[in-house]
Structure 1
Amino acid sequence: MAPAITLAAEAPKLSAANTGFMLICSALVMLMTPGLAFFYGGMVRVKSTLNMLMMSFISLGIVTILWVLYGFSMAFGTDSGSLIGWNSDWVGLGNIGLTELWPGYTIPVFVFLVFQLMFAIITPALISGALADRVKFSAWALFIALWATVVYFPVAHWVWGTGGWAFELGVIDFAGGTAVHINAGAAALGVILVIGKRVGFKKDPMRPHSLPLVMLGAGLLWFGWFGFNAGSWLGNDDGVGALMFVNTQVATAAAMLAWLIYEKIRHGAFTTLGAASGAVAGLVAITPAGGAVTPLGAIAVGAIAGVLCAMAVGLKYKFGYDDSLDVVGVHLVGGVLGSLLIGFFASGKGQSEVEGLFYGGGLTQFWKQCAGVFAVLAYSLIVSAILAFILDKTMGMRVTEDDEVAGIDQAEHAETAYDFSGAGGGAAKTAATAPVAAAASKKVDA
C-alpha cells in the first residue's frame, strides 16, 4: 500500500454559491432600513410621519458615502491598539480586486464590505425612534455622520475586527447585539437626556397614527432579519447559518407571544402594537445569541426578552426620560439580555464549543459578555451625549416649540404625509356642494 501523502491545505476559492447567498443577505439587510422607517413612521402622530421616514432614509445616503471614504477601513482594517483599524488601500475602495477574497472565507472583499455596510446604515437609524417629533433634520444628519465616525466604526472594530479587544477577549456577538442594538440604544438614551422631552410628554395623547403601517414595518424587519442574522456567518457550508435562521424565527415567535401574554395580564388586551414590539424584541435578543444556543434555548431567550422588554418600555414614565418609540426599552434592554444570556444558554454545539452555565461551562463566558456589553453601553452613551450637547449648543438640536406643536413634517420638509383635499369627501365635498344645496332649498321654498 502506498504511503499516505499529506497535502498542504488548499487556499479558499471563490464560491459562487456563498457569494450569491451573501449578496441576497445584503439586500435583505438593506430592506430592513425602509422597514424600520415604516415601523417608526406608523408609531408617531400623523404630523411627524414624513420626518420619521426621512430620519431612517437619510442614513442610507450618509453612511454609504462615509463607508466608502473611510468607514470600512476604520472598522475592518489592520488593528491599532485593539481600538481601531486602518488600511489605506481601502480608502475610497479603489484598490480592491474584483475576486480578492475576504481572509479565511470564500466571498469577495466587496461582498463582505457591502454586507457590513448595511449594518452600519441601520444602526444610527435605530436611534431616531427615540428622538421623534423634535429634532432638526439638519442636526440629525450631522449627528449621523459624527456618530458613525466616532462611535459605530470603532465599536464595530472592537467586536468584529481582527485584533479588536472584544473580539480577542472572546465576546460572542453573532450579528450585532453589542455593536448594533446596545450601541444604538445607549446612544438614544444619551441623546434624549441632553435634548429633553417632547412638548406635552405624559400630558397629551401620543398614540400611533397608523398601526397597519407599524405591522407592515415589523413584517419587513422580520423578513430582512433572516439576512441580518443568517448572513453573519458569511457562508452556508457548515449549517451554523441554518441554525441561526431557525433560531431567529423561533425566538421572535416566543418573544411576540410572551409580550402579548404579559400585556393581556397587565393591561387586559392583546394589541397589535404589542405583537409588533414583541417580535422586534425577540429579533434583537436573538441577534447576538442565535449561533450559540439551541432552538429550545432560543425559545428561552425570546420569552425572557418579550416579558422584560415589555416591562422596560414603561420605565420612561417612571424615570422621566422621553424615549419616544421605545428604543431604549426594546433595543438597549433586548440587546443586553440577548448578549448576557449567552453566558447561560450557550450549548457548545453551534458557532463554537463555548458552553454557558446551564451546559456545564460555568460563568467564564458570562463575564466576558458583561465586559463587552457594559463597555459598549458606557462608551456609546457618553460619547453620544457629548455629540448631542455640542450640536445643541452650536446649531441647536431641536425645532422650535411652535414648529413641534404645529408639526415637524411641515416645518422641516414642507410636506405632509396625507393630503385629503382632493379625495372628494369630508369638508372639501361639503364646501363644494353647499351652494348647490342652498339653491335647491330656495327653489323648494318658492
Structure 2
Amino acid sequence: MADTPVYNASEPSGGDPLKVNVNTQFEGFEWNYTYIVFCGFIVWLIIPGIGLLYSGLARRKSALALLFQSLMIVAVTTFQWIFWGYSLAYSRDASPFIGTLKNFGLKDVMAAPSPGSAVLPEIVFCFYQLLFCACTVMIVVGGAFERGNMLPSLVFSFCWATVVYCPVACWTWNSNGWLYNLPSLDFAGGGPVHIASGWSALAYALVLGKRKHVDETSHGKPHNTTLVFLGTTLIWFGWFGFNGGSALNASVRAMLAAFNTNTAACTGVLGWVLVDSIKNRGKFSVVGACEGAIAGLVGITPAAGFVSVWLAACIGFLTSIVCALLQDVNNWLHIDEGMDVFKLHGIGGMVGAFLTGIFASQSVAALDGATEATGGIDGNGMQVGKQLAEVCAISAYSFTVSCILLYILKWIPGMHLRVHEEAEMIGLDRAQFVDEQIGERAILDELFVSSSSTPAHASVVNESLGISTGSKDLKM
C-alpha cells in the first residue's frame, strides 16, 4: 500500500509542477479521487433536479423562472466559492467559527493533500464541496417562489453563501470548527445543507410576505406532476454522490452510505404514502410519494455513514412520517412557504440529526479505516445532547442572519426583493423573460381559468399584457 500523502506547509500548493510531478504523491490513490470526482459529477444533477421539481410544483406562469434560476444559482455560487467561499469554510487556519482569506481566489488550492482527506488533491475536495454549497443555495431560494425578484435573489444567494453557509460549514466540517470538535455527528450535511436551508427559506418567505390572489388550496395542485417526478428522480440519483462521496474515499463506509441513501429514500416513500392513503381514504399521490423520497433522503444525510442498513430504513421511514404529519405547518405559522422547503429540509434535517445521535455506531464509522466516533447506540447518551446543540445553533443562526440579510437588501434602493403586484399576477415568466421564450397559451390559461380572479384583477392583467377586455381575437 502506498504511503499516505502528507501536507507540507512550506509548499501549500502541493509543489511546483515545473520542477516535480505533483501526481507522484497520490500514486496508488488514483482510484480514490476518481471516485470522488465522479460523485461530484452526479451531485451536480441535484441542481437541475431541484429546478425541475420547483418548476413542476409552481404554477405554469412562473415555471420557466425556476428553471432559469437553477442555472443562475450554480453560476453565482461557483463564483462565490472561487472568490472567497472555499477559504471561509475550509482554510487550514480557521477559527472555531469562520475561516480566513488565506485561500482567497483559490490561492494555493491545487495539488496538496486536502484538509478533508489526505488522499484527495485539494482541487478535487474544493470542487466536491462547491457542489454542496450550490445545492444548498438552490434549496433556499424555493422560499421566494412565484414572487421573488430574480436579480435580488442572486445577490441574496451570493451573500447568503458567504454569511450563512460558509460559517456553518466551517463549524461542522473544518477540523477547527466548534461543532466538529464538540463533536456533533453530521456525515453529509444535515446541518449545513438541510437545517440551514430550511430555516433560511422560512425567513425568505416571511420577509417577502404571502403571495397575492392565491386561494389556499392552489399550491396543492402542481401544474406538472411529470416535472415533479423527473426532478425527484434526478435528486435521488444525485444523492448517491452526495452521501456516497462524503466519506471522501472509496471505502466500505462510502458504499454503505450509498446503500443507506437508497434504503432511506425507499422507506421514506412508504411512510409518506402510508400517511397519504390514511388521510385520503385509500387514494395515493405521486407528489406525496416524491415528497416522501426527499424526506427520507434528508433524514439519512447526517447519518448515512454512521448507521447500519436497517437503521437507515427506520430513519427514512420516521422522518417521512413526521414531515407528512406536519403537512399544514405553513398554515400554523401563517407563512406562505409554498415549496415546503422548511417542512422537508428544515424539519426533516432536524429529525435526521436527532436520530443520528440515537443510532450512530462507532463500528460503522470505522468502516473507512480511519474515523473514530461514538454514538448513542454504543452507550454514549450525551451524543443526543450534542446533536440538539447542533440543531439549535444552526437553526437560530440561519434564521436570524437570513432575516437580517433580507431586510438589509430589502431597504437598499433599487433592490426590490419582491416583484410588483402586476408582475406577480401575470407570472414571473412574462415579467422577466423575452416573449419568444414563453408559451403564451400556458400563461393566459393560468390567468383566465382561475376562479379566484376578480374583474378588477383581470383588468390589471389585461392592461399589463396589452389586451383589450373587449377583444375576442386572442391568440390561444
TM-score, L = length of structure 1: 0.88
C-alpha displacement of 1:355: 4.7
Give the counterpart of 1:100 among 101, 108, 112.
112
Q: CA deviation at 1:351?
A: 1.4
Counterpart in the other structure of 2:399: 381
Match of 2:79 among 65, 68, 75: 65
| Residue 362 (structure 2) aligned to one of 340, 348, 352 | 348
Q: Secondary structure at the match of 1:163?
A: coil
Alignment partner of 1:366 is 2:399: no
Query: 1:109 corresponds to which letter in structure 2?
Result: E
Q: 2:189 aligns with which of 167, 176, 189?
A: 176
CA gap of 1:263–1:107, structure 2 versus 1, over 3 A, is: same
Answering whether residue 245 of structure 2 is matched by residue 224 of structure 1, we say no
The letter for the 1-side match of 2:276 is E
Greater shift in the superposed pair: 360-369 or 179-188: 360-369
Q: Which residue of 2 aligns with 1:256?
A: 269
How is 1:35-74 mapped onto 2 (pairs within 5 angstroms)? 35-74=49-88
**2:263 is matched by which residue type in structure 1?**
V
Distance 1:251 1:350 in 2: 16
Structure 1 residues 40-49 or 264-273, which shifts more? 264-273
Instruction: Give the match for residue 397 of structure 1.
Output: 417
- C-alpha distance after superposition, 1:18-73 (max 9, x if no partner): 11111110111111101110011111000010111222221111110111111111
1:248·1:290 contact (CA, 8 Å) conserved in 2? yes
Structure 2 residue 323 is matched with structure 1 residue 309? yes
Quick one: distance in 2 between partners of 1:36 and 1:116? Answer: 18
Over 3 Å counting, the alpha-carbon distance change for 1:307 and 1:417 in structure 2 is farther
> Cα deviation per residue 1:74-101 (whole Å; 9 max; x = unaligned)?
100034431111252x22224334x322
Q: What is the match of residue 134 of structure 1?
A: 147
Q: Letter of the 2:279 partner, please give it.
A: R
Matching residue's letter, 1:102:
S
Pair 1:418 & 2:439 matched: yes
RMSD value, Cα: 2.0
CA contact (8 A) 2:87 2:104 kept: yes
Inter-CA distance 393–431: structure 2 relative to 1 (3 Å threshold) = closer
Shift of 1:105: 2.4
Partner of residue 270 from structure 1, selected from 284, 289, 294 = 284
Distance 2:216 2:356 in 1: 40
Deviations 1:285-343 (CA, angstroms, capped at 9, x unpaired):
10001111111111110111111111223111222111111001100011001111012
How many residue pairs get aligned? The number is 413
Residue deviations 1:132-171 (CA, integer Å, cap 9, x gap):
1001111101100111111111111010011010011111
Q: Partner of 1:288: helix, strand, or coil?
A: coil
1:177-210, Cα deviation, whole Å (9 max, x unpaired): 0010001001011121111101134446232110
Instruction: Look up the equivalent residue of 2:434 and give its one-letter code.
Output: A
Residue 29 of structure 1 aligns to a residue whose secondary structure is helix
For 1:203-258, what per-residue CA distance to the aligned partner results, in whole angstroms no more than 9, with x for missing partners?
46232110001000000000010000010111113x10011011001011001110
Aligned equivalents of 2:430, 2:170: Cα separation in 1: 39
Partner of 1:75: 89
Q: Offset of 1:10 from its aligned partner?
A: 5.3
Matches within 5 A, 1:160-239: 160-203=173-216, 205-206=218-219, 207-237=221-251, 239=252
Supply the AA of the counterpart residue of 1:404: E
Number of the residue aligned with 2:123: 110
Which amino acid in structure 1 is aligned with residue 261 of structure 2?
T
Does structure 2 conserve the Cα–Cα contact (< 8 Å) formed by 1:52 and 1:128?
A: no
The code of the aligned residue for 1:27 comes to F
What residue number does 1:441 align with?
none
Q: Which residue of 2 aligns with 1:244?
A: 257
Alignment partners' CA distance in 1, 2:93 and 2:272: 41
String of CA shifts for 1:386-420, please: whole Å, max 9, x gaps: 11111222222111111101111111223455356
Q: Contact 1:105 / 1:234 at 8 angstroms: preserved in 2?
A: no
**1:329 equivalent in structure 2:** 343
Displacement of 1:356 in angstroms is 4.0
Q: The residue matched to 1:289 in structure 2 has which SS?
A: coil
Deviation at 1:266? 1.2
Q: Which entry has the higher C-alpha Rg, 1 or 2?
A: 1
Counterpart-to-counterpart distance in 1, 2:170 and 2:310: 31
Unaligned runs of 5+ in 2: 7-24, 367-371, 443-471
CA distance in 2, matches of 1:59, 1:325: 17
Kept in 2: contact 1:79–1:164 (CA 8 A): no
1:84 matched to which residue of 2?
98
Contact 1:201 1:322 survives alignment (8 Å): no
- Name the structure with the higher helix share: 1
Contact 2:296 2:319 (C-alpha < 8 Å) held by counterparts: yes
- Paired residue secondary structure (2:113): coil
Report % sequence identity. Answer: 36
Which residues of structure 1 form unaligned runs of 5+?
1-7, 422-429, 433-446
Q: Does 1:22 align with 2:33?
A: no
CA distance in 1, matches of 2:427, 2:247: 43
The secondary structure found in structure 2 opposite 1:234 is: coil
